Amino acid sequence: MNIKKITSLAQNAKSRSIVSLFDHKDRANDFSLSTPYLYLDYSKQNINEVELGKLVEIANEAGLSESITNQFNGDKINNTEERSVLHTVLRAPKEIKKRVLGEKLAGEVEAAELQMLNIVNDVQNGILTSQSGQRFTDVLAIGIGGSYYGVKVSLSALEHYRDLSLAVHVIANVDGGALEEKLKKLNPDTTLVVVISKTFTTQETLLNAKAVKQWMLSCASVKGSQVHNTAAIIEKQWFAVSSNIEAAKSFGINEKHILPMWDWVGGRFSLWSTVGLPLALAIGNENFSKLKQGAHEMDVHFKSADFKNNMPVIMALLGIWNRNALEYPTLAILPYAHSLRALPGYLQQTDMESNGKSVSREGDKLTWLTAPVVFGQEGTNGQHAFMQLMHQSDDIIPTDFIVALKGRSQYTENHKVLVANCFAQSEALMQGKTLAQVKTELFDSGCSLEEVERLAPHKTMKGNTPSNTLVMESLTPETIGSLLALYEHKIFVQGVIWQVNSFDQWGVELGKQLGARVLAAMDGGENDMLSASSQSLIARFKADSTVRN
Ligand code: F6P
């Protein structure tokens, strides 16, 4: 990346007010874009047409067009794992699947899709029942990271589409408290379990799966009379999604209930695959297919629109501008929709696990920073929490506001207020309030000179915080599919320009290795590879657990 070009461009922007950019009369119109399901207003970003043009040049110099083609064609762009990155093909029409994957693999994908479709239909129609012959009332999906976030975010985003006779729950954390909380709500006789793990080796998922299996088996044996064959309950009620079929089988899952995954689908991009099973059980096959269709529409837009009119590309360039030119280290994701409450967590993984790197694809140390720290929560809650800092600290936090024009609840007045708050916050973050404005307000409200001087600095807001506002008509499977695909592509484009491999995640390995070592030390094994700090923490845990036992 030509970092010098970017930083030299930024000199002017650093001292410029965003409000002044609105002297350009048609800015709101010129700095906005539409796709079939989304509208992006980026006019509140601190950027002008010339600067944006230069960023497009940088994208061209980075070979973005070629990289997009390579990704969609299935080149092994995940070079450290020698894998293609083809989640997009899973939401594409049959002919594209055949062209990109070849007849044989496309056939396997279609067979897996059909298997999933049939499971969903059979559960919904009561053909697939529990061991005791009852209809399923609950689904418990066990997975973590990419085998969890995509399902979680879409389950809540599409809660209005859910089949109310079947409650779908997800569990990720290895904390036994989280598991207990879930199991309390479930009836083992009528719960379908799906273990989602691409590798089927992930510690947290396997431990949770073992605990749930134990719970189900022990409940079944207590009730003996109702459930004739305790082991058969696992065979009948358990499903797995994995690329490690053998491991899923040795866990005890019926081979016919194992849905395949492929190594060319990265965990954090896997919602579109069989990983989507719990979601499809919740919203039905038709809605699941609409979700994929919405994502596919974004793929088509991404592949065909010129960069200046390309929503993922523009969002990626603005992110690079904020991160590398204006040097803002964070990104706030603020969905003004309770149904999108899981979006910040989902994007933390997709963005930070993909681009949180510091060497190039070739392994050279980068001389620029990459992914921002992503955080956020649903509006308006954030306004009464961390947004104080966004308004008044010296840190500038670029923000993505996300809002639906139509609400889903009967409380239309609430929805109007929600949307008003969303629009007002982006305005407040941009405009701020100067000392002079505050003083005038205080004088006008009858404050004495002394009070004005004392209070004015505390009421001043820095403003000049850039933001995007992403607007959708309402939360539907299509809009959610498009929204998730938009961010996937944005992250990909940034990875290309930052020159990182966005599709590996070696950083999480050290924690896994040390986790195993700490666990061994807790069980009395060697601990001399660990620091004195960790050794003393382990000793404290051991002493305490002796007391507890
Ligand atoms: O967090 C690391 C990670 O490897 C993610 O990339 C992945 O989505 C998650 O763990 C779960 O992995 P698996 O699906 O193999 O259980």
Q: Which of 94, 406, 512, 542 is catalytic?
A: 512
Residue 351 tokens, joined: 């963005």
**Cα–Cα distance, 183 to 180 (Å, whole number):** 5
Nearest in space to 9 (alpha carbons), one of 63, 51, 61: 51
Q: Which of 104, 365, 384, 458 is catalytic?
A: 384
pLDDT value for 3 = 84
Span from the CA of 40 to the centroid of ligand 1 (angstroms) = 31
Kindly report the three-state secondary structure assignment for every residue of 190-219. HEEEEEECCCCCCHHHHHHHHHHHHHHHHH
Span from the CA of 368 to the centroid of ligand 1 (angstroms) = 27
Q: Please confirm, yes or no, whether 384 is among the known catalytic residues.
A: yes
| Pocket perturbation via mutation, ligand 1, pick of 144, 245, 261, 491 by most ligand atoms within 8 A of CB | 144
Q: What angle (nearest 5°) sits at the alpha carbon of residue 440, between those of residues 438 and 444?
A: 115
- For 523, counting Cβ atoms within 10 Å of its Cβ (0-12 exposed, 13-18 middle, 19+ buried), the class is exposed
Residue with tokens 């008509």: 473
Q: Which of 113, 297, 353, 478 is catalytic?
A: 353
Q: What is the pLDDT of residues 363-391, one digit of tens each?
A: 999 999 999 999 999 999 999 999 999 99
Span from the CA of 137 to the centroid of ligand 1 (angstroms) = 28
Kindly report the three-state secondary structure assignment for every residue of 484-531. HHHHHHHHHHHHHHHCCCCCCCCHHHHHHHHHHHHHHHHCCCCCCCCC
Residue 521's identity, in one-letter code, is A
Residue nearest to atom 13 of ligand 1 (CA): 197
| Each residue's pLDDT expressed in tens, for the chain with a length of 549 residues | 888 888 888 989 999 999 999 999 999 999 999 999 999 999 999 999 999 999 999 999 999 999 999 999 999 999 999 999 999 999 999 999 999 999 999 999 999 999 999 999 999 999 999 999 999 999 999 999 999 999 999 999 999 999 889 999 999 999 999 999 999 999 999 999 999 999 999 999 999 999 999 999 988 766 654 545 667 899 999 999 999 999 999 999 999 999 999 999 999 999 999 999 999 999 999 999 999 999 999 999 999 999 999 999 999 999 999 999 999 999 999 999 999 999 999 999 999 999 999 999 999 999 999 999 999 999 999 999 999 999 999 999 999 999 999 999 999 999 999 999 999 999 999 999 999 999 999 999 999 999 999 999 999 999 999 999 999 999 999 999 999 999 999 999 999 999 999 999 999 989 888 988 999 999 988 888 899 999 999 999 998 775 555
Question: Hey, which residues does 196 pair with through a beta bridge?
Answer: 241
| Pocket perturbation via mutation, ligand 1, pick of 508, 509, 512 by most ligand atoms within 8 A of CB | 508
- Other Cβ atoms less than 10 A from the Cβ of 24: the count is 13
- Residue 488 and residue 65 in contact, taking contact as beta carbons nearer than 8 Å: no
Helix (H, G, I), strand (E, B) or coil at 400: strand
What phi-psi label fits residue 530: left (phi over 0), alpha (psi between -120 and 50 degrees) or beta?
A: beta
Span from the CA of 202 to the centroid of ligand 1 (angstroms) = 7
Q: Please confirm, yes or no, whether 526 is among the known catalytic residues.
A: no
pLDDT value for 225 = 46
Q: Please confirm, yes or no, whether 249 is among the known catalytic residues.
A: no
pLDDT value for 268 = 97
Q: What is the pLDDT of residues 217-276, one digit of tens each?
A: 988 766 654 545 667 899 999 999 999 999 999 999 999 999 999 999 999 999 999 999
Q: What is the pLDDT of residues 135-157, one digit of tens each?
A: 999 999 999 999 999 999 999 99
Q: What is the pLDDT of residues 468-484, one digit of tens each?
A: 999 999 999 999 999 99
Span from the CA of 166 to the centroid of ligand 1 (angstroms) = 27
Return the DSSP state at 350: I
Q: Using a 6 Å CB cutoff, which residues line ligand 1? A: 144-147, 197-199, 202, 205, 267-268, 353, 505, 508
Give the H or E element holding residue 331: strand 330-336
Q: Which atom of ligand 1 is nearest to the CA of 143?
A: 16
Residue nearest to atom 9 of ligand 1 (CA): 145
pLDDT value for 525 = 84
Span from the CA of 252 to the centroid of ligand 1 (angstroms) = 21
Alpha helices, DSSP H, located in 305-358 = 311-320, 343-347, 354-355
